[in-house]
Structure 1
Amino acid sequence: MAGIPRFLLAQAGSDVVIEAYEGSGAYGDIYGDPVTVRAVVDASRRLVRDDAGTEVVSETTLYAPLSTVAPAGSRVTLPDGTSSTVITAKRRDGGRLPVPSHVEVVLT
C-alpha cells in the first residue's frame, strides 16, 4: 500500500499536533496525548457533512499518513498556531492500487 509520497510531505507538508478525542468526563472533554504528524494542509473553505450527516463549513483539510488517528471532536493545532476541531476523518486506503493511501481530516 502506497502512502503519501515522501517528496510531497517534505516540500508541501507541515507539522500539525493532534490530540485525539477520547470522550467526555465529569470535568469536560477528554483528549489523548498530543501527537505531531506531518501532513499536507489545504486551507480552503468547503461545505461538508459531519458524521451525523449535518452540513457544516470546513475551513481546512489535512491529508495525513494512513496511521493517523483523529476521531471527530479531536483538537488539532495547525502550523500557524491556530487550534481547530475535527469534523470527520476518512480513511482513503487504496490497498494494492498505486494511489497514495491517506487519512483525510476535515477541520472546522
Structure 2
Amino acid sequence: MVSRVPGRLLRHRIAVEPYLGDSAYGPRFGPQVVGIPALVAAVCEQITDPEGRKVIATAQIIASPDLDCPPGSRITLPDGRTATAISAARHTAPGLPVPACTELKCQ
C-alpha cells in the first residue's frame, strides 16, 4: 500500500518561506527552507483565493503530505521565479492504494 507520494516522482526542487501572518510592517514569513522535493507544472487555472476573489493560478505543485506552506507563503520555483501560494490542499485516502500529498496552487 502506498502511504505518500514516492520521492522519485518529485523531480524538482523548490524553496518555501512559510507565511506567518501580517504585522504592522507587512507580511511576515518564516525562515526559508530550500531543496524541497516537488513536482511543478505550469497551469493557467482560475481559482478562488482565501479572501473569496477569483485569481489565476500559474503553477501547480505536488509535494510530500507534511509540507508546511500555508496560503500566502513565498515559493521559489525551479526556474528561479518567485510565486505566492494561493491554496494548499492535503490529499489523503486512508486505506486506499493512492499516495498522500500536498497540492499547492500558486500565482
TM-score by length of 1: 0.90
Aligned with 1:17 (options 15, 18, 21): 15
Secondary structure of residue in 1 paired with 2:8: helix
- Could you tell me which residue of structure 1 aligns to residue 26 of structure 2? 28
- Could you tell me which residue of structure 2 aligns to residue 101 of structure 1? 100
1:44 offset after TM fit, Å?
1.5
Alpha-carbon distance in 2 for matches of 1:2, 1:91 = 13
User: What are the ranges of 5 or more consecutive residues in structure 1 without an aligned counterpart?
Assistant: none
Q: Which has the higher strand share?
A: 2
Structure 1 runs of 4+ with >6 Å offset: none
Secondary structure of residue in 2 paired with 1:43: strand
Q: Indicate yes or no: 2:82 matched with 1:83.
A: yes
Secondary structure of residue in 2 paired with 1:67: coil
1:6 offset after TM fit, Å?
2.6
Identity %: 34
Q: What amino acid does structure 1 have at the position aligned with 2:104?
A: V
Q: Indicate yes or no: 2:7 matched with 1:6.
A: yes
CA RMSD of aligned residues (A): 1.3
Secondary structure of residue in 2 paired with 1:59: strand
1:53 offset after TM fit, Å?
3.2
Contact 2:7 2:37 in 1 (8 A): no
- Could you tell me which residue of structure 2 aligns to residue 57 of structure 1? 56
Q: What amino acid does structure 1 have at the position aligned with 2:73?
A: S
Q: What amino acid does structure 1 have at the position aligned with 2:25?
A: Y
Task: Give aligned pairs, total.
Answer: 105
